[in-house]
Amino acid sequence: MQQNEQIIRTEYSEVMQKSYIDYAMSVIIARALPDVRDGLKPVQRRTLYDMHELGIRHDKPYRKCARIVGDTMGKYHPHGDSSIYEALVVMAQEFKKGLPLVDGHGNFGSIEGDGAAAMRYTEARLEKITQEAYLADLDKDVVDFVPNFDETEKEPSVLPVKVPNLLINGAEGIAVGMATSIPPHNFSEVIEGVKAYMKNPDITARELMEYIQGPDFPTGGIVVNKDELLNIYETGTGKIKIRGKVEIEQAKGGRQRLVITEIPYTMIGANIGKFLMDVGNLVETKKTGDIVDISNQSSKEGIRIVLDLKKGADVENLCNMLYKKTRLEDTFGVNMLAVADGRPETMGIVPVIKHHVNFQYELATRKYKTLLAKELDKKEIQEGLIQACDVIDLIIEILRGAKNIKDAKDCLMNGNTEKIKFRYQGSVADAKQLHFTERQATAILEMRLYKLIGLEIEALMKEHEATISNIAKYEEILGSRSAMTKVIVKELTKFQKEYGKPRKTQIENAAEAVYEEKKIEEMPVVLLMDRFGYAKTIDVSTYERNREAADSENKYVISCMNTDKLCIFTDKGQLHTVKILELPYGKFRDKGTPLDNVSKYDSSEENIIYINCMEDLRGKKLLFVNSQGMIKVVEGDEFDVSKRTTAATKLNDAETVLAIEQLAETEEETVVMQTEKNMFLRFPAADVPQKKKGAIGVRGMKIDTRDRLKAAFLLGDEEKTIEEKDKQIMLHRLRIACRDGKGVKK
């Protein structure tokens, strides 16, 4: 150990706490949340600034995204290329941003969730608005520059954005313990809101909403809870309900079709595919019979999802069902969280605009102070050159009589003639009167002779007048807040005229979507399932006509109601349920559908031990026997569950369910257990205790360690005979013993 090293002893929990807080704040401030002033996350800000530095302007050729990403990562954002490229792609996607900041060239993904091509294939450049409203004036000292991660470059701490980008483009981000979700808004409306605030800083959210109606999503759609928007914009949190736009078109044969032309913003990406699957599922589960076909005809021109309807379909009820059962109506959670004054803060719409406007005044103040300083410098030099033109002969004489620049400059600034040889003695007195400033003297010494041409002198005079005018203008702007306000408003109006677009999202109050499910006509059916697991239902009369064939060709034949559900018990101890309505109903010779397709039952991994309808299990009792000889009785009502799959019984490792039988609960009812070595034990069914479905049960038979349970039977008052090794064993003639015995050899 080196001598100058010190070991600092501290509480481990304190180190962990400090480290975690440091990490959390780093994620919040430096990665996940946007700044309220420019509405950009650090990765977005750095990418745009890097493109600006690389000179990738809107009127210049596109550059490979790989170059932009690599340059940004190497200079400003050392957090991996995927995060930078993803940010670049999102800033170029018109369906995600109200105002795209990057002009993408190539495959930048689609609204249906297709990802962008690899960065080596795509190209990009800045949009015109980005240059004019986001990156302009960086050379005028309007924002602070800070060192990059390795202190080899400088980067802006915030971009001089002149429009309220946080509201225009919105934001999404997940930090540690907090998340932001801000919807995009209409460009023109937000500019109008900013102007209204600048006229009246005491404006309320209600008054501001006369200009900003609500969110304006690039995908359009309809916001249906207009009355709740005020509270959302006052508090900065809430839920916006959005619906897709549905149009009704007439098709051939008097049929109609529903055409979805706009989707909720939250449906962007894979959720479009999920919507199509959900609609298909509604048809398959017979929730609706009005939809004949569904097709996605979306293209570059826009969204077009077509639902062909059958003749006489209830269109209004179907629309309401789509709103309720699919993502055609969805919720956008609003949490207007952004970094303000270096700390995360949830803000309503008025504070957001207030921070933006204050930032605009700060930008304007710094900009015009810089411009004024430059004009004052120009004025000083111009006045020196004009004055020099009046005494140009004297200046030429001084320059010719000086031995070096230092002596000439000293004479021009201080009138020191000691080291100057004058041609005319009278010039000495005039030279002593000279008192140019250092800048003026330098400009005179650097002046070229062609500047003495009459037209050049005239141009210098005009330039001087323009400089004086600019100085007066800049001083007026800096000296009067109202004058500065006019300048900011004028620039905002210019952007509004050039880049403003009509609103896409409608804002209204719509009634809650209510739809009436068509009442299913309850009727008795017969369920048929063959040995391959294909199941179907037929009406009772069809079964009666084909009873002999139905009974011989099918493994299970169960009479039930069409509103009932099928309970499938497997050897793995699982209970799978299927609504009878989910099974195909039709002709006797129809194939049916595999149970695997309509339930979570997997025929390749588990075998059916018992199957029945729920209605037949209510009020009844089931006998369970497992492969280890454990036995119990369970109430049938316990299996009336809402889950599609649940545990029907508890099993230990390597155990399986051997038999499940429904008890008749008569005095004559007995249980027979048979082992592989043909040990038989018969005892009354009443000796088996009743347990919950989650219990293992009690031992039914003592089985030798070298033997295993082979089968179990439930006997009533009927006779039952089995064949074992060419001999018949009549189970009903076995002596009745007690449960948990060893049994007899047969």
Model confidence pLDDT, tens digit, residues 422-459? 877 778 888 888 888 888 888 888 888 777 776 677 88
**Residue 583, token pair as written in the block:** 């099974």
* Domains annotated on the chain, with CATH: 33-161 (3.90.199.10), 245-327 (3.30.1360.40), 355-498 (1.10.268.10), 618-745 (2.120.10.90)
pLDDT value of position 5 = 75
pLDDT value of position 587 = 86
707, burial (CB in 10 Å: exposed 0-12, middle 13-18, buried 19+): middle
Strand partners, 182: 171
Count of residues making up the chain: 746
Query: Average pLDDT, stretch 620-631?
Result: 93
Measured CA to CA in angstroms, residue 391 lies from 72, 331, 410, 465, 642 at distances of: 55, 79, 17, 21, 103
Matching residue, tokens 């002593």:
432
pLDDT value of position 2 = 53
Say which residue, 514 or 474, is predicted with more confidence: 474
CA distance 36 to 39: 5
For 234-278, write each residue's pLDDT tens digit. Answer: 999 999 999 999 999 888 877 899 999 999 999 998 888 889 988
Query: Average pLDDT, stretch 717-730?
Result: 84
Query: Average pLDDT, stretch 655-668?
Result: 90
For 210-229, write each residue's pLDDT tens digit. Answer: 999 999 999 999 999 999 99
Say which residue, 674 or 521, is predicted with more confidence: 674
CA distance 578 to 531: 18
pLDDT range class, residue 517, cuts 50, 70, 90? low
∠ at Cα 582 (580, 583), nearest 5°? 70
Matching residue, tokens 């068509």:
518
CA distance 103 to 114: 18
pLDDT range class, residue 1, cuts 50, 70, 90? very low
Query: Average pLDDT, stretch 69-98?
Result: 93
pLDDT value of position 175 = 80
Q: Are 278 and 326 in contact (CB under 8 A)?
A: yes
Beta strands at 222-223 and 305-309: parallel, antiparallel or unpaired: unpaired
pLDDT value of position 410 = 87
pLDDT value of position 518 = 64
**Given its phi and psi angles, is residue 226 left (phi above 0), alpha (psi -120 to 50 degrees) or beta?**
alpha
Where does 554-640 have alpha helices with state H? 595-598, 614-617
pLDDT range class, residue 83, cuts 50, 70, 90? very high
Q: Are 744 and 734 in contact (CB under 8 A)?
A: yes
**Residue 678, token pair as written in the block:** 């043909």
Task: Give the sheet arrangement for strand 63-64, strand by strand.
Answer: 63-64, 123-126, 102-105
Query: Average pLDDT, stretch 509-523?
Result: 75
- The mean pLDDT value of the chain amounts to 90
Virtual torsion, Cα 179, 89, 124, 136, nearest 10 deg: -20
pLDDT value of position 30 = 66
Measured CA to CA in angstroms, residue 355 lies from 112, 145, 158 at distances of: 36, 20, 13
Catalytic residue (choose from 121, 197, 323, 543): 121
pLDDT value of position 392 = 85
One-letter amino acid for residue 187 of the chain: F
Measured CA to CA in angstroms, residue 321 lies from 4, 247, 445 at distances of: 75, 15, 85
**Residue 697, token pair as written in the block:** 């049960």
Mean pLDDT is lowest, of 51-55, 117-121, 717-721, for 717-721
Is pLDDT of 8 > 80?
Answer: no
Query: Average pLDDT, stretch 154-180?
Result: 92
Q: Report which of 584, 536, 539 is spatially closest to residue 556, judged by C-alpha positions.
A: 536
Give the CA radius of gyration of the chain: 43
| DSSP secondary structure letters along 596-616 | HHHSS--TTT--EEEEEEHHH
Matching residue, tokens 């810089």:
370
Say which residue, 284 or 687, is predicted with more confidence: 687
CA distance 643 to 574: 12
pLDDT value of position 173 = 86
Catalytic (active site) residue 121: yes
Query: Average pLDDT, stretch 134-142?
Result: 93
Say which residue, 5 or 50, is predicted with more confidence: 50
One-letter amino acid for residue 563 of the chain: T
Question: SS3 of 700, please?
Answer: coil
Say which residue, 279 or 21, is predicted with more confidence: 279
Is pLDDT of 10 > 90?
Answer: no
Query: Average pLDDT, stretch 386-401?
Result: 84
pLDDT value of position 221 = 94
Say which residue, 710 or 456, is predicted with more confidence: 710
Mean pLDDT is lowest, of 41-45, 682-686, 725-729, for 725-729
pLDDT value of position 41 = 93
